[in-house]
Copies of this chain bind each other. A is one copy, B any other.
Amino acid sequence: MTTQEILKKAKAAAPSLANLTTDRKNEAIEAMAASLEAAEEAVLAANRLDMEAARGHISDVMLDRLMLTGGRVRAMADGMRDVAKLPDPVWRTLESVTRPDGLRIDKVSVPLGVVAIIYESRPNVTSDAAVLAFKSGNVCVLRSGKEAWRSAAAVTAALREGLKKAGLCEDYVNLIEDTARTSANELMTATGYVDLLIPRGGAGLIRACVENATVPCLETGTGICHVYVDEFADLEKAVRIIVNAKTSRPSVCNAEEVCLVHAAVAERFLPMLKKALVDDREKPVELRLDERAIRVIEGTPAGERDFDTEFLDYILAVKVVDSVEEAVAHIAAHSTHHSEAIVTEDPGNQKKFLRAVDSAAVYVNASTRFTDGGEFGLGCEMGISTQKLHARGPVGLRELTTYKYVVVGNGHIR
Interfacial residues, chain A to chain B (CB-CB below 8 A): 15, 18-19, 97, 99, 103, 105, 110, 112-113, 195-196, 211, 214, 216, 234, 237, 240-241, 243-245, 248, 332, 350, 354-356, 358-367, 369-371, 375-377, 387-390, 392-393, 402-414
Contact = CB atoms under 8 A, between A and B. Distances in A.
B216 A388 contact: yes
Contacts of A393: 404-405
A344 to B, nearest CB: 11
A413 B240 contact: yes
A413 B105 CA distance: 44
B404 A367 contact: no
A405 B371 contact: yes
Contacts of A369: 413-414
Given A97-B377, A196-B389, A409 B363 contact: yes
Nearest to A18: B355
30 contacts: A15-B332, A19-B356, A103-B366, A105-B376, A105-B377, A110-B358, A112-B389, A195-B388, A211-B214, A216-B387, A216-B388, A216-B389, A237-B410, A241-B413, A244-B413, A364-B407, A365-B408, A365-B411, A366-B409, A366-B410, A366-B412, A367-B412, A367-B414, A369-B413, A375-B414, A389-B389, A389-B402, A390-B390, A392-B402, A393-B405
A411 B237 contact: yes
A354 B377 CA distance: 31
Given A244-B414, A406-B362, A389 B390 contact: yes
Contact of A248 (B245, B364, B413): B413
Q: How many monomers of this chain does the complex have?
A: 2
B358 A103 contact: no
Top 8 A-B pairs ranked by shortest CB distance? A366-B409, A244-B413, A366-B412, A237-B411, A388-B402, A369-B414, A361-B405, A390-B390
Contacts of A413: 240-241, 243-245, 248, 366-367, 369
A370 B241 contact: no
Given A369-B414, A389-B216, A411-B234, A406 B354 contact: yes
Contacts of A245: 413
A404 B356 contact: no
Contacts of A18: 355
Contacts of A412: 241, 365-367, 370
Contacts of A392: 402-405
A410 B358 contact: no
